[in-house]
Chains A and B, each alone.
Chain A
Amino acid sequence: KAGVTQTPRYLIKTRGQQVTLSCSPISGHRSVSWYQQTPGQGLQFLFEYFSETQRNKGNFPGRFSGRQFSNSRSEMNVSTLELGDSALYLCASSRDGSSGNTIYFGEGSWLTVV
């Protein structure tokens, strides 16, 4: 079956712009989580959505937002981009987000802010 799909894979944006990243979870998975990965900070949790509701949120500024649609697809948006937002953004899905479920990651969206 198809894995977690993230689009776009690579993008370059200018400071001050905004960006939207998309994630399609594995069919039947209702939990989608987003992580930011940078060389300095490693993997940091952004937020998790389950059944269109944000269930958990990490310590990121309000410029980072997300949503989940009724088909479980999720988008995250970053407004007023800063150079420090350059990172690999990873999406992960699981059946219901509980600890017993295996979590599957997409290949990520590489964002470069110039």
Chain B
Amino acid sequence: KQEVTQIPAALSVPEGENLVLNCSFTDSAIYNLQWFRQDPGKGLTSLLLIQSSQREQTSGRLNASLDKSSGRSTLYIAASQPGDSATYLCAARNSGNTPLVFGKGTRLSVIA
């Protein structure tokens, strides 16, 4: 059974800093891994989707990597801004039509 863990649960950084969010999963036979952002009281917004055959994906200031052998994914945020403050969740999918398994998220605060 796939389990996804995100550590730390909360992180506070000053504006402008580059930062890395971590995600680990127990079953390396994943199909893909997604990173989402959730603002307080809101739904989730998909940020990046990495297929199992890929090593990384980039969108603007965001870069996500995937290392199946070690069961880890990272989300790199460059030049953080206060608007990046949110909870970031990663989710793993084990096969094409199986549901996403979510971590509990990392709550990021970027201080101006």
Contact with B along A95-109 (1 / 0, CB 8 A): 001111011111110
Q: Answer whether residue B70 sits at the interface, using C-beta atoms and an 8 A cutoff.
A: no
Q: Answer whether residue A78 sits at the interface, using C-beta atoms and an 8 A cutoff.
A: no
Q: Which residues of B contact A90 (CB under 8 A)?
A: 43-44
Q: Say whether B43 contacts A4, CB under 8 Å.
A: yes
Q: Which residues of A contact B31 (CB under 8 A)?
A: 99
Q: Which residues of A contact B42 (CB under 8 A)?
A: 107-108
Given known A99-B31, A107-B42, A108-B43, contact A42–B105 (CB-CB < 8 A): yes
Q: Say whether B96 contacts A98, CB under 8 Å.
A: yes
- Could you tell me how many residues of chain A have their Cβ less than 8 Å away from some Cβ of chain B? 25
- Nearest-neighbour CB distance to chain B for A89, whole angstroms, equals 11
Q: Answer whether residue B23 sits at the interface, using C-beta atoms and an 8 A cutoff.
A: no
Q: Which residues of B contact A45 (CB under 8 A)?
A: 99-101
Q: In the complex, A43→B97 CA distance in Å?
A: 18
Given known A99-B93, A102-B46, contact A48–B104 (CB-CB < 8 A): no
Q: Which residues of A contact B44 (CB under 8 A)?
A: 90, 92, 105
Q: Which residues of A contact B22 (CB under 8 A)?
A: none
**Which 10 A-B pairs rank lowest in CB-CB distance, beginning with the nearest?**
A105-B43, A42-B104, A43-B102, A105-B44, A45-B99, A107-B43, A99-B96, A99-B31, A99-B32, A98-B96
Q: Which residues of B contact A28 (CB under 8 A)?
A: none
Closest to B46 in A: A102
